[in-house]
A = this chain, B = another copy of it.
């Protein structure tokens, strides 16, 4: 179960030992995580602004710097989500150059996990796995189930038993086997490590993790390209396992190394829910030692109490002069509402966390108003409707007559004001 490739291979993050390309996530010497390393010189000619711009409108335009096995012909459009200027949200929180990277509408299953899964499954096929799976807090489950269905792979997906109904249904509908585990994400994840080993299955975020994680770099590539090949000043990013925020920086660094973007300092800000905030706690304490927590938050997609990439994320945030913050469940629900009301983007709980954290960072003066800041929204609000459903009341139904409608509006607003004179254009 190995393939050879001249452009990239796995190496230990700590001791630098090489492992070629195989389904393996940790160094057998020092137990540190493995990561994909590229021969940047070998891809320099393939990875130019012009070649990228001529590529498809999806993440495969960046495939020269993704660990894609030779012969893999991607045919599923993934990613290349909008980066939108957020003027109205910016006005509310005091930001003049604010952007939303909107993975709430990521292809094909509406979260950034589509990016990592597509890269992982390309490798799963190269390694010959016929059954794939994952441990998941929901979005990953949806994406593995959907993409495995399209590829004709069997999928077995393990989730905490208390997952949101929409995320469960949105896994089952693709015909995946879903196993609900009586425990939290960290229990599920440990079990998956054992299963991957014992059953010889390809678990995207376990034995395929180094390949999987590289898919997150595409968020960084897209941000830079969509800003007109410029780096932002700041990135605000949710943290669950701590991988995404690191990979966005890796993407920026690769683009700098290849001369595709001008170097400048970029600060990284991590966002967590207070009910599961091991990384932000570490950052605030000025350490990269992660004290595991027992999650207690409605932001289930961030509820990883013992994050695999937590130490590296905390270290990286500090190194960029960034910061990490966490917000309560009430604040995250307000964050969901605020983003929807100002920018028309309906995000899930994690996006509510990120929006509320961004507002706090501006309020606390950690980000100043004229800097260019990108907020990463990673998932869709339709998957976590329970988080905000209790904020709205369904009003009484109105009879379908103009007089009844007018009476109803008067009840709500008081007597009708004359409409202001319309402007002729």
Residues of chain A having any CB pair with chain B under 8 Å: 1-3, 57-58, 69, 75-77, 80, 82, 84-85, 88, 102, 105-110, 126-130, 145-150, 152, 161, 165-166, 168-170, 172-175, 178-183, 187-188, 190-191, 194-195, 198-200, 336-337, 340-346, 380-383, 385, 388-389, 392, 394-402, 405, 408, 419-420, 422-425
Indicate if the CB atoms of A342 and B82 lie closer than 8 Å: no
Indicate if the CB atoms of A194 and B105 lie closer than 8 Å: no
A-B contact pairs, 27 of them (CB 8 A): A58-B82, A69-B425, A76-B82, A105-B108, A108-B345, A109-B346, A126-B425, A127-B422, A127-B425, A128-B423, A145-B344, A146-B345, A166-B382, A169-B389, A173-B341, A173-B381, A178-B395, A179-B408, A182-B399, A183-B400, A188-B400, A190-B400, A191-B401, A199-B419, A200-B419, A200-B422, A382-B382
Which of A88, A346, A400 is the most central at the interface, judged by chain B CB atoms within 10 Å of its CB?
A400
CA A145 to CA B342, docked complex, whole Å = 11
**Also in contact, A405 and B342, with CB within 8 A (given A397-B181, A425-B128):** no
Indicate if the CB atoms of B340 and A169 lie closer than 8 Å: no
CA A394 to CA B178, docked complex, whole Å = 9
Q: Which residue of B lies closest to A147 (CB)?
A: B344
- A173's contact among B161, B175, B340, by CB below 8 Å, is which? B340
**Also in contact, A425 and B341, with CB within 8 A (given A190-B400, A394-B168, A400-B183):** no
